[in-house]
Amino acid sequence: MRFFDAVEYQGFWGSFWDLVWWFLWAFVFFAYLMALFSIIGDLFRDHKLSGWWKAVWIFFLIFFPIITALIYLVARGGGMAERSAQAAQSYREQQDAYIKTVAGSGSSPSEEIAKAKRLLDDGTITPSEYEALKSKALAGG
């Protein structure tokens, strides 16, 4: 009787090293998925690449996934970083513009009163409307 015949199989949770290997492969798989989604997102973010080249990259990502991902990261990795930074900058600018439109003009109460005074001097608004704008600016809203 050999030693391995006497050892009973303990299942998945029975061996510490089986568990370590499982977590290692789970990590590798998760890392691959993150890289794959980053690559696909970068492909569709790149406006300079034609649709045919995008289709070729997607085809090779489906049928030769790991080698294609490595080639893509080496060949276009620098461009990925630039496009990602440009997208983040664009999102930040859009968010800032939205916040400015929601928060109002962003001018101080003195600027609002000066604008209202110019409108009054031009005859665009009446003195009562000027007083209403002035009180609104001083109230902060």
pLDDT digits (tens, 9 = 90+) for 87-102: 899 999 999 888 877 7
Burial of residue 41, with CB atoms counted within 10 A of its CB: 0-12 exposed, 13-18 middle, 19 or more buried: middle
What average pLDDT does the chain have? Answer: 85
Q: For residue 113, is pLDDT > 90?
A: no
Q: Judge contact between 79 and 90, C-beta under 8 A.
A: no
